[in-house]
Structure 1
Amino acid sequence: MSSPTEQTSAPEVPEPAPRVAPSRTDPFAAAVTRPIGGPLGSHAATGRHWFWSPLRVALLLCVVALMLGWFGKAPCIQQFTNDQGQTELDWRSGRPYVAMCYSDIVPLYGAERLNKPGAFPYETSWVEDEGTAGAQTRYMEYPVLTGLFQWANAKVTQAWQSVAASGWLPSGLDVAVYFDITALFLAAGWLVTVWATSRTHRRRPWDSVLVAISPLVLVHVFTNFDALATAFAATGLLAWSRRKPALAGLLLGIGAAAKLYPLFLLGPLLVLCLRAGKMREFAKTAAAGAGAWLALNLPFAIWLHQGWAEFFRLNTSRPMDPDSIYNVISYFTGWTGFDGPLGAHQTPTWLNIVSGGLFVICCAGIAYLALAAPVRPRLAQLCFLVVAAFLITNKVWSPQYSLWLVPLAVLAIPRWRLLLAWMVLDSLVWAPRMFYYLGEDHRGLPEGWFLGAVTVRDLAVAGLCVLVIREIYRPSADPVRIDEDTLTGDPGGGVLDGAPDVVTWKQRAPVPV
């Protein structure tokens, strides 16, 4: 028992590190703030407003961007009355391409038989090209979670229309209502993506503004269903940063059931945990991810196997897409491809082998980089490199796939001017794409214009990869590490942050700036 004269004091609680103000650290952000008073002052009081936090500002800006994105797609759900007095979508005169409002959500409502009341994904089938030599039985072509997402939205649409028939709700064509309902949930998915990105690097919440207002969001958030996967991938990285490996694996596994790419994020975690001696934490993540993916997929794989396997069959038999690097080379050189001319539904075997092999080689190079770099790379840096490598080497780069890179790029290289320039450039590829699809006979653009834009986009992404690699070898040039006042930490690394190296490969000294 202490004497009355002894004074006891509570342990000192360290003050949280101040937030990074981009207007002070980023030249572009500083220039943007000049019309409203310039960069934040050195004595300004920050973080004290009762409501307007950086996250809430980012979410508000995201809502505005999502509204603009919806208005960009709205022309494609306009209706007209035909000569028979029936209401139809107004897709006359190539409207989806001229107005650049095309969205997969609209045609897939009928193509995937979602408009049929008794249809169920992976069970309902139909015959494509019926009556021809190329006739083929088809099923839902998307992974399980995305397929169920579409089906659930179709059921909500049918319920909405039933209530609207009694006059209680506004109505329209089924497909228009379906698009709006789907867009609402996709918007929520992107808001979650912004929230998770903001919370992953606590000292840099303002960087999430780039995710919120990205030009790619305006163009592509409602082009397909990818915002669903980005939400799970971003929250998985957030959970890892908060040292919750099992939850991170669960979220990544669910995301992989929506789109394949969240699965790729386990690769960087593997090599970084190997280097830091945190394999137990990685095992928890991998086990939770595998368990989540199996729980969603196994029932369909067992009882609706043929329909479930459609996604894998279609991706195997799919030829090189117009916007793949292989098609670019083929167009400008006259090369006929690794497999030569292919017939309808013929599998491009060698293209699959080469594209898959190139991705594996890139992953091996990234793994070497992770083990041989003078300082352990940050998780976001390697995740960006892996996903970018997949997109560049893959035989398919659908335009909405670029959304995958947005949160990863913001976490990996938060340089506002550079990232906005890439996002603007990537989003502008949509214009020549639409006018190429319109066709030269309808005053569209030649294929070369579109493929030229694709080439510039690929080079821009490759340039970002070079910058990431440079900052891995020169950690003193990494803005995240400079702001964290440590060249070895990783604010998004969770258990990796501050952990000593255990396994390295020919480690070298950092390269000076």
Structure 2
Amino acid sequence: MAVPGALLQRDRPRLSDASLAPIALLAALPVLVALWKQGPCLQQGWGGTEPFWRFCYSDLAVGVQTADAERGITAYLSGDVPLDQPPLTGSVVSLIAGLAPGEGPLATQRWVLGVWAVLAVAALVLLAWWVRTMPGHRGDALQVAVAPVAGLTILLSPDLLGVVLATGGLWAWSRRHPALAGALLGAGLMARTYPALLLLVVAAHAWRTGRERELPRFGGAALATVAVIALPFLILSPGTLTRSWSAWFDAPAGLGSVWYLPTLAGSPWPASVLTTLAVLGILVAVVLAGLLVLGTPWAPRIAAVALVAVAVVLVSGKSFPVQTSLWLVPLVALAGLRWRDHLVWALAEAVHFMAVWLYLSGLQNPDKSLPPGWYAVALLLRVGAVGYLGVRAGQTATAFPETGDEAHDDLADDLRSSI
């Protein structure tokens, strides 16, 4: 079938059209909001219950202190820095912490968050450019650059590293660079777990679009990257390589998960049952992704399929902490969802964000507690919003390509015209 010239032109990277300078200025806004939100903790530290009341708690900052990450990457590779992170993420965090110019835990925490904030601005700009130039997607870069969810979560954890690598892998595959795509997604897998889903989505997409000959290069690059990253750990400290993943099997239901509702009711479910349910959720996500890619009349947007799969895994998982919502930000933009969908989801995330910290602080001070019932409402609101994103992404994936590409609402046009 002939491809219209307009579509071919749209598939080319447009450096001038991407407007990197104004996008860079806008990308600083969520990071500045995140830093402002961290203000009380940057002054007084992240200990006690005060960070919950101040909404400035950060796993990134707390993990640096509790794991003695200032000892540096060498100590981490040898197993002496027990960061609860996948190997690549733990390596990057310990490397940054080891370069801290000040002495003492608080100085190291401030240094790590400051460096991460600078990297976050660069990452958002890069993500926005990828969104704007990804062939066949025509995503709205502003949905990344000024994403409200980024302002809530970007300094809570080092999840951003995995998000950048995973998104870069999708972009490279769409630009027909299979080896680069495999390498980025392989590295992403060593930084976060959800790129494993994207590897499967890309493989199915390759079969659907007649690119199966590229799969050996794609898969080989992914395996080679995983091997290179894993090799130092296998030599020095094999336990560090699998620490964060092996702990998942015996973990109880975590905050944000629908399986935490029995815990709120005083009857937590066994970890084995939760693990089984989470695995079933992963299988459902893989089956849905396969049906979307292989069962539609035309090849769907790969990012829309990825959003469906990731959303299913998140809402069915054993834990759904606030920071994992960052995974969805570039996928929402690349899937071509409207701003109204984005803002509905962001509102639910904001309600849950406030509720979870009030609930946690109340566990240690019942006189100022958010009742479990109200936290359950916020939890279900957020899970429902993520499920809504998955439904909308499924509709986008199965829509006629021209319809999906041209679906933009007035808010997106107004924001774009401002730059």
Q: Per the shorter chain, which TM-score range? A: 0.7 to 0.9
CA-to-partner distance for each residue in 1:142-192, whole Å, 9 max, x for gaps?
A: 1111111111111210xx238xx9xxxxx9733323332233233333332
Aligned to 2:102: 161
Work out whether 1:243 is the aligned partner of 2:243: no
Conservation of the 8 A alpha-carbon contact between 2:137 and 2:336: no
Work out whether 1:433 is the aligned partner of 2:362: no
Aligned to 1:96: 51
Conservation of the 8 A alpha-carbon contact between 1:109 and 1:115: yes
Aligned to 1:121: 76
Aligned to 2:304: 381
Pair 1:119–1:300, CA change in 2 (3 A): closer
Q: Supply the distance in 1 between the matched residues of 2:309 and 2:23 (Cα, whole angstroms).
A: 27
CA-to-partner distance for each residue in 1:9-52, whole Å, 9 max, x for gaps?
A: xxxxx7887879xxxxxxxxxxxxxxxxxxxxxxxxxx9xx978
Q: What 5-or-longer segments of structure 1 have no aligned partner?
A: 1-13, 21-46, 80-88, 127-138, 166-170, 340-347, 484-513
Aligned to 2:132: 198
Pair 1:203–1:410, CA change in 2 (3 A): closer
Question: 2:222 is aligned with what amino acid?
Answer: G
Report how far residue 329 of structure 1 moved: 4.9
Q: Supply the distance in 2 between the matched residues of 1:271 and 1:451 (Cα, whole angstroms).
A: 37
Q: Compute the TM-score of the two structures, normalised by the length of structure 1.
A: 0.71
Aligned to 1:30: none
**Deviation >6 Å, runs of 4+:** 14-20
More displaced, 364-373 or 142-151?
364-373
Question: 2:26 is aligned with what amino acid?
Answer: L
Question: 2:24 is aligned with what amino acid?
Answer: L
Aligned to 1:403: 326
Conservation of the 8 A alpha-carbon contact between 1:269 and 1:282: no
Aligned to 2:110: 176
Pair 1:113–1:256, CA change in 2 (3 A): same
Root mean square deviation of aligned Cα: 2.9
Conservation of the 8 A alpha-carbon contact between 1:391 and 1:397: yes
Aligned to 1:146: 89
Question: 2:107 is aligned with what amino acid?
Answer: L
Work out whether 1:229 is the aligned partner of 2:194: no
Question: 1:379 is aligned with what amino acid?
Answer: I
Of residues 282, 296, 314, the one that matches 2:215 is 282
Conservation of the 8 A alpha-carbon contact between 1:141 and 1:314: no
Aligned to 1:188: 122
CA-to-partner distance for each residue in 1:31-84, whole Å, 9 max, x for gaps?
A: xxxxxxxxxxxxxxxx9xx978534322211112211211111211104xxxxx
Conservation of the 8 A alpha-carbon contact between 2:260 and 2:268: no
CA-to-partner distance for each residue in 1:203-260, whole Å, 9 max, x for gaps?
A: 836x110111111111100000011111111211121121111111111111111111
More displaced, 456-465 or 397-406?
456-465
Q: Supply the distance in 2 between the matched residues of 1:353 and 1:219 (Cα, whole angstroms).
A: 31
Report how far residue 303 of structure 1 moved: 3.0
Aligned to 2:67: 112
Q: Supply the distance in 2 between the matched residues of 1:428 and 1:152 (Cα, whole angstroms).
A: 34
CA-to-partner distance for each residue in 1:301-328, whole Å, 9 max, x for gaps?
A: 2431123221222122211102111112
Of residues 297, 303, 311, the one that matches 2:244 is 311
Q: Supply the distance in 1 between the matched residues of 2:322 and 2:298 (Cα, whole angstroms).
A: 34
Question: 2:329 is aligned with what amino acid?
Answer: V
Conservation of the 8 A alpha-carbon contact between 2:278 and 2:316: yes
Aligned to 2:416: none
Pair 1:15–1:453, CA change in 2 (3 A): closer
Equivalent residues in 2 for 1:320-469 (5 A)? Answer: 320-329=253-262, 331=264, 336-337=268-269, 339=270, 348-439=271-362, 441-469=366-394
Q: Supply the distance in 2 between the matched residues of 1:65 and 1:303 (Cα, whole angstroms).
A: 38
Q: Supply the distance in 1 between the matched residues of 2:238 and 2:10 (Cα, whole angstroms).
A: 51
Q: Supply the distance in 1 between the matched residues of 2:46 and 2:75 (Cα, whole angstroms).
A: 28
Q: Supply the distance in 2 between the matched residues of 1:105 and 1:124 (Cα, whole angstroms).
A: 19
Aligned residues: 400
Question: 2:76 is aligned with what amino acid?
Answer: P
Report how far residue 361 of structure 1 moved: 2.6
| Residue identity (%) | 25
Q: Supply the distance in 1 between the matched residues of 2:289 and 2:136 (Cα, whole angstroms).
A: 26
Q: Compute the TM-score of the two structures, normalised by the length of structure 2.
A: 0.86
Indicate the SS of the match to 1:321: coil
Report how far residue 409 of structure 1 moved: 1.0
Pair 1:388–1:219, CA change in 2 (3 A): same
Conservation of the 8 A alpha-carbon contact between 1:226 and 1:259: yes
Conservation of the 8 A alpha-carbon contact between 1:366 and 1:385: yes
Of residues 188, 192, 199, the one that matches 1:259 is 192
Question: 2:311 is aligned with what amino acid?
Answer: A
Q: What 5-or-longer segments of structure 2 have no aligned partner?
A: 409-419
Pair 1:329–1:377, CA change in 2 (3 A): farther
Conservation of the 8 A alpha-carbon contact between 1:190 and 1:227: no
Conservation of the 8 A alpha-carbon contact between 1:98 and 1:438: yes
Indicate the SS of the match to 2:69: coil
Report how far residue 449 of structure 1 moved: 1.5
Q: Supply the distance in 2 between the matched residues of 1:199 and 1:117 (Cα, whole angstroms).
A: 37
Report how far residue 371 of structure 1 moved: 1.5
